[in-house]
Structure 1
Amino acid sequence: MPLLTDLFYLPPVEYFVLISDHRELCINGTERYQKQTYRNRAQILLTNKVDTLSIPVLMGNSKQLYKEIKIDYDQKWKNIHLRGIQSAYGKAPFFEYFFPYLEIVYAKNLTFLFDLNIELLTVCLKLLQSNTKLKVVSENVDANNYPDTRGIINAKEGFGSRNIMTPYPYSQMFGVNFVPNLSILDLLFCKGPESKDILNLSKKND
């Protein structure tokens, strides 16, 4: 059954646990943009901290459609993000195999945040060997006919406040203690083909 869901930038692991049983994701192409969400930020693990990668955007007004939000390329965010990802995962087991897929998307210098996030999510699903497809739908889609997970994953709250996953620890690049629910990049670069199994093991056992 199709799932109505949010569109995030390099989403956290719990997002992929949430969508894992669905073969089609419906993204609302007519929703309003919301600040301070995972729509323009992602978290990665550096040597001594968790770092937040944030995409600067050009905001006309608070009622703008998500699809109309433009990326601010006057700020050198792209170099910062790519260098950050390389610093965090350059020595990870699957970095050299997966990183080129991301570079291709960033090299396009896409104008709109929505389009960048669609392309990156498509790449992440491909690297997870997932058969899940993406579909952009209009606001008049009947939400009563679809499971609706929009708004569940809140960047301002810890994942423990949601009943989505029980983190399954895997070996990370830095630190002694496992850091859960980072961007899916952390899992992909560290575990490669095993990532899908770890997502299944992270599902909540109700």
Structure 2
Amino acid sequence: MTIGTYFLHRKSKSPLSQIAIDLHYLPSLEFFAAIAGAEELLVFPQDRYQRQSYLNRTRIRLANKVETLSIPIVGRRPRIPMEEVRIDYGQKWQAVHLRGIQSAYGKAPFFEFFFPYFHDIFESEEESLWRLNQKLLTVCLKLLRSPARITVAEEGRLSSEVFDIRGQIEPGRPFSERNFYHPVPYTQLFGVNFEPNLSILDLLFCAGPEAGRILQESAKKQ
């Protein structure tokens, strides 16, 4: 599916049946705006790991700054399949991430309702980065009440009906250079000015049941 066809679907509000995605770590609002309305999300365990990507990092808002949380991986072998990337638990990263999330959102209105879902996944000590991201995305879709289902797919030629956004959402370029996400402000815990495109955690903990509506409104319809 071409970009033009994608936005034609958005404008007409007709369903986007399938979107091929990367499995990001606690994805950004841009990611969820891009998949808004999808019925099926195709993920590919054989896709290659990309350094300096959102595959192992996410952004949260603390009292005085925006913090990037990164998951350390075993070794530095570039371009290996995602399903082979192993998480380095020798660096005790879960404690750092959990402490950061609690510091950032512990007083957010919906923190106590949603945090246990994520805490349990962190505590499971999943060895595979790909599997960890898949579990986290599954929980996020559930909490957003999204009808989208995740399907593990094999490498090969995609149908012309599939919109492929793999490799497009990356930290090296601002979201404004892409056509997926138009920020819709909501009340955040810290700061005077709205900080767009943080981790989905920011929206879930701050907006609760309104998160799904905000994401729908944030999806660009050009």
Say if 2:80 is the partner of 1:64: yes
Say if 2:187 is the partner of 1:162: no
The corresponding residue for 1:97 is 113
List aligned pairs for 1:1-206, cutoff 5 A. 1-59=17-75, 61-206=77-222
Q: Which amino acid aligns with 2:111?
A: F
- Partner-residue secondary structure (3-state), 2:213: helix
The corresponding residue for 2:8 is none
Aligned length: 206
Instruction: Give deviations 1:163-203, integer Å, cap 9, x for gaps.
Output: 11210000000000000000000000000000001011112
Instruction: Give deviations 1:26-61, integer Å, cap 9, x for gaps.
Output: 001111111010000000000000000000001362
Partners of 1:88 and 1:6 lie apart in 2 by 26
Q: Which amino acid aligns with 1:142?
A: L
- Contact 1:3-1:19 within 8 A present in 2 as well: yes
Partners of 1:29 and 1:115 lie apart in 2 by 9
Alpha-carbon shift at residue 63 of structure 1 (Å): 3.2
- TM-score, length of structure 1 as denominator length: 0.97
What 5-or-longer segments of structure 2 have no aligned partner? 1-16
What 5-or-longer segments of structure 1 have no aligned partner? none
The percentage of counterpart residues that share the same residue type is: 50
Stretches (4+) displaced over 4 A: none
- Contact 2:19-2:163 within 8 A present in 1 as well: yes
- Once the two structures are overlaid, the 10-residue window that deviates more, 146-155 or 40-49, is 146-155
- Partner-residue secondary structure (3-state), 1:71: coil
Query: Cα RMSD between the aligned structures?
Result: 1.1
